[in-house]
Structure 1
Amino acid sequence: METNLLIDRNEALKRFRPISENSHKGVQGHALIVGGSYGKIGSVCLSVKACLKSGAGLVTAYVPKCGYEIVQSVVPEVMVLTDDYNEHIITVNHKLNLQAIGFGMGLGTHADTHQAMFHFLKMNKVPLVIDADGLNILSENKEWLEILPKQTILTPHLKELRRLIGDWNFDGEMLEKVQSFSVKYDVVTVVKGAPTLIVYGDTVYQNTTGNQALATAGSGDVLTGIITGLLAQDYTPADAAVLGVYLHGLTSDLAVPETGYHSFIASDILNYLGKAFLTLNA
């Protein structure tokens, strides 16, 4: 039985949990953001900042060596681990106790990075969000879908989705293919667009927030950070995706009267995220 739900404030409130008064960083979850390559470290900075600003207690970035000083300088609240290699990631080694991982922003698709992702997926049991080049690598190695943790969140835009599931002729066919894909691999698929759809099993959620201001570089990197941050706080994957997409869209609705559509950039999502959360506390 297929269920279609609109993601509005009521649906967001059903999932939203205020942070308890006696909370501390040790119980708010530790998230790892894996990504970056030479010239694409900014995407990781956006993701880690979004992860922190969505309530995660601790956030670590895992980047190639060329990203070390950039991330440390731009986001002082974040810890940084580096690969041994300078320009792209060739291994993902850590000994952290994690609650969630966001993977793929600015990663690049070097053959070494393909191997790094394969070995990471074989070893990883932590709840996972995959975006950007993580999805592009996955679409070239579809057999790896079988080794993803249950309810992994995938966040493709339409081009990335085509690479993952193949082409379609009309929206209804696309939705059917995404649902079959979601059921087959037990994944939560966030189809970024206007509107953004979230598909998990037979349930399709349609977001009601957001506008054309979000059509800007880095917007998706911020979304992945928000969803990863919620996942680290022990939200279920479907709830983290629904709430994350709702809040991400809402930032642009709150900002546009002040920024206009043209001048809104991904950093503005971060700047208005607090106001978006406050609408749920009101």
Structure 2
Amino acid sequence: MKYILNSREMKQCDSRTIEHYGLPSMVLMERAALSVVSFLHERDLWQKKIVILCGSGNNGGDGLAIARLLYLEGGQVSVFLVGDFSKASPENMAQQKICRQYGMELSSSTDTLADAQVIVDALFGIGLSRELGGDYPALLQEVNAMDAYRLAVDIPSGVSADDGQIMGQAFLADATITFAFAKVGQMLYPGKKYCGELIVSAIGIESCSLADQVLPCKSLEKEDLKQLPQASPDDHKGSRGKVLVIAGSEDMAGAAYLASKSALTSGAGMVKVYTPRCNRDIILTRFPEAILVTYDKWNEKQLLEELAWADAIAIGPGLGKSNLAENLVRTTLENAAVPMVVDADALGILAEHLQWLKKPHTETVITPHLGEMARLMGSPLMYVTDHKLSIAQDFARDYQVICALKDAATIVSVPYATTYINASGCSGMATAGSGDVLTGVIAGLIAQGLRPEDAASLGVYLHGLAGEEAARTEANLCMQAGDIIKGIKTIYQKEGR
């Protein structure tokens, strides 16, 4: 597991490293520059014609240090100073002086860009908090259009380190070298796209520099798969957990199948599908391992009996928005005594009855995509898209649910605790039924004993890795939700589960 910081948290780390541990700012700057130069060597780029765009702050100071190191190695490097250097930071001024002492020319002319093969962006760094104005948008448009390799120092200029939004215009990097920790804006779209390949470089700022009161975002890594349930020689189907999947409606048997199949594939011992009778033959044919309970009409007594059977409940995939579906959602929320995963049509029903979540309820994971989140919030989709992180955190806290806000980089927010930003997955997962699979995975992990917050974050990560596995054999555009389920099996096999 790794930390992901916003701009404020990163600045606190910088300050604590410098002031408490006594590591000078110029030393950190030199180490940052060395890491960039090492990257240029590794990629055989250092001998090409390199132009470094340097602003007047410490990010520009990093750029000046990079330029000097390359210059002393005999590299073809030019420095293009951009901005008001009468207000340059002390470190930036010191780096300028060092460069000039070595005989380097520092230019303020756009002619410097001519024939550049590599462009290094060291204009703003993580401190930028307003939309770019003046000549910057035109400059960034120009360099983005050039036939050159583009490398960003710490973060592409114009990308918000706090939420990944583009502040008017941004540097479109082929790669970004960031320092100490990844930043939130590098993990969320559209910022993630502008970063290109992301490399996190250690420069001497460690997790011990995080202030005690800081609760940064986190991202899971391969080593976190050790949290997956481990098969035991004395296991039996009852000991591995029971999942009740309340899903499906007429012509929507597929959603019930995918959610229940993925719950069993993720390790649950038994899965029971509660679905309309019209889905009986389809489920039994496609998924004979499932326990099937069907209904023709609303039957509260029957539902309460099934709720009492389960160790975890998944509700919503393919449920529809009928009066019967509304009764299913309301009764489940009011009577469930085990953790729930609420998805799809159940979220659409909740959007019209949010007061149900204000009542006491068992531990609940909701898994909305951006459109469903917009309906839950009663907000425009564009607003939700632009404020994904804060919306997931606020909703989780206000309604005391774990919110897994699905996107290309899914956010899992636990009330008053950690927020996870998922880094696994691929474009092929943008396919019908992918969300139903995720619902089943999370429910299956909960049934096996994982805490709901752990099941949600690990389930999202596992789901993404399974998609990556599927993409090894299937073209992204051809992937189907069933391929993700097969990918889960591959991950478990690799992990010895």
Give the structure-2-normalised TM-score. Answer: 0.53
Could you report, residue by residue, the CA deviation over 1:39-75 in whole angstroms, capped at 9, with x for unpaired residues?
1011101111101000100110000111111111110
**Residue-by-residue CA offset, 1:14-59 (whole Å, 9 max, x unaligned):** x223122211111001110001111101110111110100010011
Aligned twin of 2:370: 158
CA distance in 2, matches of 1:33, 1:134: 12
Q: Which shifted more, 127-136 or 244-253?
A: 244-253
Change (3 A) 1:213 1:25: same
Indicate the percent of aligned positions where both proteins have the same amino acid: 35
Instruction: Give the AA of the match of 1:265.
Output: Q
Q: Distance in 2 between matches of 1:245 and 1:121?
A: 23
Hey, what does 2:492 align to over in structure 1? 277
Q: Distance in 1 between matches of 2:377 and 2:435?
A: 20
Match of 2:310 in 1: 98
Q: 2:364–2:402: 8 Å Cα contact kept in structure 1?
A: yes
CA spacing shift, 1:142–1:256, aligned 2, 3 Å? same
Matched, 1:244 2:459: yes
- Following the alignment from structure 2 to structure 1, what is the Cα–Cα distance between the partners of residues 456 and 470? 22
- Find the aligned partners of 1:188 and 1:219 in 2 and give their Cα distance: 19
Deviation readout 1:104-123 (Å, 9 max, x if unpaired)? 00000012321332123222
Contact 1:33–1:103, Cα closer than 8 Å, also in 2: yes
2:471 counterpart of 1:261? no
Does residue 11 (structure 1) correspond to residue 229 (structure 2)? The answer is: no
Letter in 1 for 2:462: L
Moved more, 251-260 or 191-200: 251-260
Contact 2:276–2:295 (CA<8 Å) still a contact in 1?
yes
Farther off after superposition, 23-32 or 106-115: 106-115
**2:354 matches 1:139:** no
For the pair 1:22 / 2:237, whether they are aligned, the reply is: no
The code of the aligned residue for 1:95 comes to E
How far apart are 1:271 and its partner, in Å? 1.4
Q: Deviations over 1:66-94 (max 9, x none)?
A: 11111111100001111233xxx675615
Using the alignment, how far apart are the partners of 2:249 and 2:462 within structure 1? 28
CA distance in 2, matches of 1:116, 1:272: 32
> Does structure 1 retain, via aligned residues, the 8 Å contact 2:373–2:384?
no
Quote the Cα distance in structure 2 between the aligned partners of 1:258 and 1:177: 36
1:169-223 C-alpha deviation (Å, 9 max, x unpaired)? 3767332232122112221111111111111124210111101000001000111
Compute the RMSD of aligned alpha carbons: 1.9
Paired residues, what number?
A: 278
State the shift of 1:149 in Å. 2.7
**Amino acid of the structure 2 residue aligned with 1:223:** L
Distance 1:231 1:170, change over 3 A: closer
**In 2, Cα distance between equivalents of 1:252 and 1:173:** 26
| Rounded Cα–Cα distance in structure 2 between residues aligned with 1:52 and 1:152 | 20
Asked whether the 8 Å contact 1:35–1:103 carries over to 2, the reply is yes
Give secondary structure in 1 for the equivalent of 2:403: strand
Mapped partners of 1:221, 1:275: distance in 2: 19
Choose which of 315, 323, 341 in structure 2 pairs with 1:111: 323
> 1 or 2 for the larger relative contact order (CA 8 Å, sep ≥6)?
1
| Aligned counterparts of 1:98 and 1:68: Cα–Cα separation in 2 | 20
Q: Does 1:179 align with 2:393?
A: yes
Residue of structure 1 aligned with 2:243, choices 31, 40, 43: 31
- Equivalent residue, structure 2, for 1:188: 402
8 A contact 1:90–1:112 mirrored in 2: no
CA distance in 1 between counterparts of 2:295 and 2:242 reads: 19
8 Å contact kept, 1:165–1:178: no
The alpha-carbon distance between structure 1 residues 209 and 258, as it changes in their structure 2 partners (threshold 3 A), is same
Using the size of structure 1 for normalisation, the TM-score is: 0.92
* CA distance, structure 2, for counterparts of residue 166 and residue 178 of structure 1: 14
Whether the 8 Å contact between 2:274 and 2:293 is mirrored in structure 1 is yes
Q: Which amino acid aligns with 1:178?
A: A
The answer to whether the Cα contact below 8 Å between 1:30 and 1:100 also exists between their aligned partners in 2 is: yes
Query: 1:148 deviation in Å?
Result: 5.7
3-state SS of 1:95 partner:
helix
**Aligned partner of 1:165: which letter?**
M
**Is the CA contact 1:129–1:153 (under 8 Å) kept in the aligned structure 2?**
yes
* Equivalence for 2:412: 198
Segments of structure 2 that go 5 or more residues without pairing to the other structure are 1-213
